[in-house]
Amino acid sequence: MLIMDFERWLRFNPAWYELEILTREPKVDKGAGIKVKMSFEGEEKKFQKVKFSVEEASPDKVVYALSNGKRIELSIRNEGDVTLLSHRETLHASESEEEKEEEVKHWLAAIKHYAELKNTPLAKLSRFFIDRVLLRMNPMQRRITVLIILLQAGLLATALFALLVIYVKHRFNL
Q: Kindly give the confidence (pLDDT) of every residue in the chain, 174 residues in length, as a single tens digit, with 9 standing for 90 and above.
A: 767 777 777 776 666 667 778 888 888 889 889 888 877 665 566 777 888 899 988 888 999 888 877 888 888 888 888 778 787 877 666 667 777 777 777 777 777 766 666 677 877 787 777 777 777 776 677 778 888 999 999 999 999 999 999 999 988 887
C-alpha–C-alpha distance, residues 82 and 36, integer Å: 33
- pLDDT in the model for residue 90: 77
**Closest by CA position to 110, among listed 75, 134, 146, 133:** 134
- pLDDT in the model for residue 15: 64
pTM as predicted? 0.51
Name the β-bridge partners of 82. Answer: 79
Instruction: Give CA angle at 108 (105, 109), nearest 5°.
Output: 85
C-alpha–C-alpha distance, residues 100 and 137, integer Å: 25
Domains and CATH numbers, the chain: 6-136 (3.30.530.20)
DSSP 8-state class, residue 136: G
- pLDDT in the model for residue 2: 67
DSSP 8-state class, residue 66: E
Phi and psi angles of residue 50, each rounded to the nearest 5 degrees, phi first: -125, 135
**Closest by CA position to 11, among listed 115, 150, 144, 130:** 130
Q: DSSP strand E in 80-159: where?
A: 82-89
**Closest by CA position to 55, among listed 75, 30, 74, 18:** 30
- pLDDT in the model for residue 141: 78
C-alpha–C-alpha distance, residues 13 and 138, integer Å: 10
- pLDDT in the model for residue 122: 79
Residues 6+ apart with CB under 8 A from 62: 3, 4, 28, 54, 56, 73, 74, 75
